[in-house]
Amino acid sequence: MFSNMELAYGFIYVCSGLIAAGIILLFTMKLRHQAEQKQMEAFKEKHRDYFIYLQSHLHDDVQLALPQGRLEPLERRVVEDKLIQWIERLKGESRSKLVSLCQEAGFVEAEKRMLSSLFPGKRVEAAYRLGGMRAAEAVPEMLELLQTMRYGPESIIVARAIAKSADQYEFIRAMLKQLLASGKPVQHLAADMLLETRLESAGLLRRLLQEEELGILKAALAAMWGQAVPAVVPALGRLAFNGQEDVRAEAVKLYLASNPVLKDDTISQLMSDPEWEVRAVTAKALGRIHAAGSIPLLQAALADDSWHVRHNSAESLSLLGEQGFEALCQAALGTGAAREIALSRIEQVMGSERSTQAVDQIVAFNKIKLVYESYFGISSKKAAVQMAGVGGDYSA
């Protein structure tokens, strides 16, 4: 009995001691952090004139001078962080001068040595800083580090640092393959990294679109959204008509977004594609590029098995003037799915009368209204009410 009580008291004493030690450790770490922050602020003030000098001569045709005197480790960190901050913000010659300054000051070499640290956190931090300094000479070591890591936040940091620093296509490709080897859906993340590379955008995307690996193709296609790259249109055309099924729809979407000159047989080939996604993106693009010659194909697509194809075809027909709207009215007099989607789109178009304000829009709407009345023989307001009242009048 007493031995159990003594054991319990001993356990309580040990736990209390551990708790007290933990509190003391946390308090010590807080004090150390506060002291470090205070010292960093002092170093920022010490080098304020040097930072002003750099800002004043960034755009001049002069070689930037190194910081004077021997820098303490924390002092080096303050200067390095400021340079990285500017490198991230600037482009062109100003960025190149700061990158060269980091190399001359020994910051890059010091961080490269940290890539072989025994502590994983130190290695990831070094890779992050090397990416900020666009250290091309450290890319092989960072690739070796990435190969030893499992997919996670740390590997993403290293991969992004490689993308920022790499000056050769082979390094970008190796980074993408390693990132995609995790099997995770990281195509959009990889595409975001590609936008930060220092390589020429058109040449990089053109080479990536020639790869056979599906993940790399998807990443390259995702990276193309939001930027116009005319040089890659031929590669997009190849993927749109002869590429793998998983990327063809995206390639067609980007290809049509480049406003190419489409021949009738090309439009016919896309609208009869076995993949519904390809037919859907094609149908949507035909109205945007005002391909009036495609009206018969769009009208036939109103009866497509895919709702997306039917919806996009009806929307495009409504954008192709009187002829396109007349095709919708003809389909509305038919039966089946084509009639349903045509009536729905007609109701939307005729219901936009109140929102029409510009003169050219009013003229175009009045022409469409005449086409509508020639088919249905009633006013647009009455037609909209009748089509909205599904099921008729049951009051009798």
Each residue's pLDDT tens digit, 257-270: 877 777 788 888 88
CA angle, residues 202, 174, 84, in degrees to nearest 5: 70
pLDDT at 391: 40
Structure tokens of 199? 């390589």
Residues 364-380 pLDDT 10s:
788 888 888 888 876 54
Residue from 305, 296, 281 nearest 328 by CA: 296
On whether the CB atoms of residues 178 and 162 are closer than 8 A, the answer is no
Lowest mean pLDDT among 102-111, 245-254, 269-278: 245-254
Confidence class for position 7, pLDDT limits 50, 70, 90: confident
User: Taking all residues of the chain, what is their mean pLDDT, rounded to a whole number?
Assistant: 85
On whether the CB atoms of residues 30 and 23 are closer than 8 A, the answer is no
How far apart are the C-alpha atoms of 318 and 346, rounded to whole Å?
A: 8
Q: Give Cα 174 distance to the centre of its chain.
A: 20
The residue-averaged pLDDT of 244-249 equals 81
pLDDT at 68: 82
Structure tokens of 160? 């992004």
Residues 133-163 pLDDT 10s:
999 999 999 999 999 999 999 999 999 999 9
Residue from 207, 143, 129 nearest 179 by CA: 143
Q: Which residue is associated with the tokens 């993403």?
A: 156
> Which pTM does this prediction carry?
0.75
- DSSP codes of every residue in 324-369: HHHHHHHHHTS-HHHHHHHHHHHHHHHGGGTT--SHHHHHHHHHHH
Which has more pLDDT, 260 or 103?
103
Structure tokens of 223? 């990276």
**Cβ-Cβ contacts under 8 Å for 162 (sequence gap 6 or more):** 131, 139, 142, 143, 146, 171, 172, 175
Q: How far is CA 100 from CA 84, 139, 164, in A?
A: 12, 16, 15
How far apart are the C-alpha atoms of 319 and 358, rounded to whole Å?
A: 16
- Identify the H or E element spanning 125: helix 120-132
How far apart are the C-alpha atoms of 100 and 92, rounded to whole Å?
A: 13
Residues 67-97 pLDDT 10s:
888 888 889 999 999 999 999 999 889 999 9
Confidence class for position 393, pLDDT limits 50, 70, 90: very low
Confidence class for position 12, pLDDT limits 50, 70, 90: confident
Name the burial class of residue 139, with classes exposed (0-12), middle (13-18) and buried (19+) by CB atoms within 10 angstroms of its CB. buried
The residue-averaged pLDDT of 172-189 equals 91
